[in-house]
Amino acid sequence: MWLRLVLAALPFAFFLGAVPWVNRTEPYVLGLPFFLFWLSLSIVLTSVCMAAVYRLDPANREEES
């Protein structure tokens, strides 16, 4: 259960916890200002974490026949 909680809290920390440190325009990553790249990466990370939480939740497992 603790792994699901950590995975669910990770996007929150990634989005809001690091904003004071990544709120800048330099350097450019993939042609994007760093902050915009960080937010785009956060969206992808959130999707991955939520998919992992869904897979780890015992209520979402199919019953074995």
Average pLDDT over residues 2-13: 85
How many CA atoms, within 13 angstroms, populate the side-chain half-sphere of residue 51? 6
If you ran DSSP here, which 8-state letter would residue 33 be given?
E
Average pLDDT over residues 32-59: 87
Q: Work out the pLDDT band at 47, boundaries 50, 70, 90.
A: very high
Of 48 and 24, more confident: 48
The span from the CA of 28 to the CA of 8, in Å, is 29
pLDDT for 64 beyond 60? no
Total-model pTM: 0.71
Q: Work out the pLDDT band at 44, boundaries 50, 70, 90.
A: very high
